[in-house]
Structure 1
């Protein structure tokens, strides 16, 4: 699961015509900060929606996490963020306890009960058997995208106006 912001190359070509490489560097830093902000929003939504998690999903939305996606290319003009955790899309979109594509039964979950809390352990010989049913997703990613799009749009407008103002005053 990842999000990628595209279409910035053309914009940057126009900016380069009107500005020096310092503006490109500033834009790259701003884009990087926007990515960090998006990761924070995703984490907030995982917590707010009480998405079932062993902290692996939450932690994967950190820059530098082994399960996380973070890449910037071509001087920061493309930013991709996300998670490589296998259940990230299931937690967001929902799922059934039987894999509908393969027919594989995902109802057996290895682990153990500690009091009234179940602890997953992929190597355990004990576990629990789930009933076949649909498990609703929390929509954490969708919520975070909606929030971020509003913030990003306003931030981009403000940033562009600032750059245009500074370009105008530099003439």
Structure 2
């Protein structure tokens, strides 16, 4: 008689798991049109997205100009899509210094600076990306963060993991992709 309550609880939990998987399959599945044998959407489904319909906008968070940042900016610029670099500054004087450095680099991609007096960076970047997405719902926004890749696991703790933190902050926002441009170091 020990554990008699366990069986109904397990049955309930397993049925909830099954219901979840059925829902995911229904939401993500490709449904064959009856009698056509192809993978065409049914009348009540939206048509599949094809590559020619996707319009991009790239956003590059830039803390400072260094090799990792320049590599990321060069990559994004080479894609030939609209792009914007975004710098978060704690004060106006630092933002002006950065704009001067940016102009010296060549201003290949437009730069936007945001003031954040309390050095709140990730929330400001995420808020900016979300606001852009809301104002342009027809675009797919890709945030490309410079990422320094080091050899040893303990060294990873010493680097600011912008891409991972942005991914967590933006994962629930549809139409925003977060990725990174790795720069490998051998230390």
Structure number with larger C-alpha Rg: 2
Q: Which category of TM-score, normalised to the shorter sequence, fits these structures?
A: under 0.3
Query: TM-score with structure 2 length normalisation?
Result: 0.24
The structure showing larger relative contact order (alpha-carbon pairs under 8 Å, at least 6 residues apart) is: 1
Q: Which has the higher helix share?
A: 1
